[in-house]
Amino acid sequence: MGRSSKILRLLPLLAACCMLEAGESVLKVPGTGKPVAYGGRFSNAKVMIPDTYRPKAREMRGAWVATVENLDFPKHADAASFRRDYLAVVDNLKKSNFNTIIFQVRPMNDAFYPSKLNPWSRWMTGAEGKTLGFDPLDFMVKEAHRRNLEFHAWLNPYRVVSSTRLRKAAYLRTLAANNFARKNPHLVLEVKRKDGTYSLLLNPGEPRVVRHILATVREIVENYPVDAIHFDDYFYLYGGVGNSDHSTFRQYNPRRLSLEDWRRANVDAIISGVKRELTDYNRRSGRKVAFGVSPFGIWANKKSMSSGSLTGGNQSFFSQYADTRGWVKKGWVDYIAPQLYWPFTMDVAAYAALADWWADVVRGTPVNLYIGHGAYRLGADSRWHRGELADQLRYNTKLREVDGSILFSYRNVFSPSNPVMRDAVGKVLREYWKTPVPCPPCGNVRR
């Protein structure tokens, strides 16, 4: 055998040695020792994962603080208790080396700040329209900045109520008199859910709804030095809206789009509109307020769209009419934070395949990629074991496009509900995030 043939035979072994030298190992299923399938049922390739966490000089370390249903932040009867509880939140984040708080300031067409457009939130005091006698958002932004935390103002654009047994007219009468939905019932969609309750949302196809949401964003950035406007994953309802918007479709469809394309165009109008608002504001003010969206983790399955991911789950492009991939490619967002709330071993939505897919989406664009991790799932079953969150963060370090992580949600980090959650989050905070780093600036084009 010639020398060149021997070298060719040695190449796989040399590659394997280099891989080991780089500090990577095959990820295995706890308890069985079997290699984890890269794409669940769609790819049996092995997942290679770094043995150690290699923090970047700048990376997002964020936490969502959800106020809807008082998930992470309770109702308050006075300003003093609000201030006390909020200071505990930002102090905990600071001590644990987070660098960003994403606080839900508009959970249900309402506000955690004095607004001319939206009533005081019921999740703040227990009664919509009731004030605590001070400006919570001014206080929250200042205290976050005092601790070198970025403050991202989290808004839900359309939601009026997720579930109610009341019909639309009856429910709207329970809202404050100045609530946009109550004042404009014809701009609210009523959708019956499978359990017999109703969801109410502002109609995305109504031009007045678009103008109201853009005005809300404008009001926030012109009055508060927030670092970003942040939208979550609720656009059109996950369960669909049936034919509740067909009259709007007939009235506002000059381009004669299909119903599905028309709905996507409606959501596009909000996303592109917010980007224009912030671009214009930043140009006038000299500031750099970013726009970020945290969508459902699957844009489209490869079976449905050739450019989709190796997945078989719900698809935001079709179910919510949210073209999240398109927003990145068109530069309508400064960062995207897909909610990858699945483990490596998820059969139809495997973490590794999705993280790689999103890294490919942002590659070559100025859009930052932050991964949303479902800390709330830890301990839910054997797939969400003590090492799952740490494994996901280590895997992220393989991908130069991943600029950090956001954990859902605050209470699962600082008030874990089970031992697995406590140990899993504790490992990340003690070993991976043991030293502080700043948040990365938006707009880094990757070659």
User: DSSP string of 398-436?
Assistant: T-TTEEEEEES-HHHHHS-SSHHHHHHHHHIIIIISSS-
Number of H helices, E strands in the chain: 15, 13
The architecture in CATH of the region 41-157+205-432 reads Alpha-Beta Barrel (3.20)
Domain ranges of the chain: 41-157+205-432
Structure tokens at 137: 């958002």
Residue 442, pLDDT score: 81
Q: Is the separation of the CB atoms in 155 and 164 below 8 Å?
A: no
Structure tokens at 32: 């069985």
* This prediction's pTM: 0.94
Interatomic CA distance for residues 64 and 408, integer angstroms: 6
Contacts of 245 (CB under 8 A, 6+ apart): 189, 203, 204, 205, 263
Residue 22, pLDDT score: 59
Residue 445, pLDDT score: 59
b or e along 347-367 (b: 16 or more beta carbons within 10 Å of the residue's beta carbon)?
A: ebbbbbbbbbbbbebbbebeb
Average confidence (pLDDT) per 10 residues, the chain, 447 residues: 45 42 87 95 97 95 98 98 98 98 98 98 97 98 98 97 98 98 98 96 98 98 98 95 97 96 98 98 97 98 98 97 98 98 98 98 97 98 97 97 98 98 98 96 63
Q: Is the separation of the CB atoms in 429 and 125 below 8 Å?
A: no
Q: Is the separation of the CB atoms in 126 and 213 below 8 Å?
A: no
b or e along 156-175 (b: 16 or more beta carbons within 10 Å of the residue's beta carbon)?
A: bbbbbbbebeeebeebbeeb
Residue 47 is given by DSSP the state: P
Interatomic CA distance for residues 375 and 353, integer angstroms: 19
Q: Is the separation of the CB atoms in 212 and 180 below 8 Å?
A: yes
Q: Is the separation of the CB atoms in 240 and 303 below 8 Å?
A: no
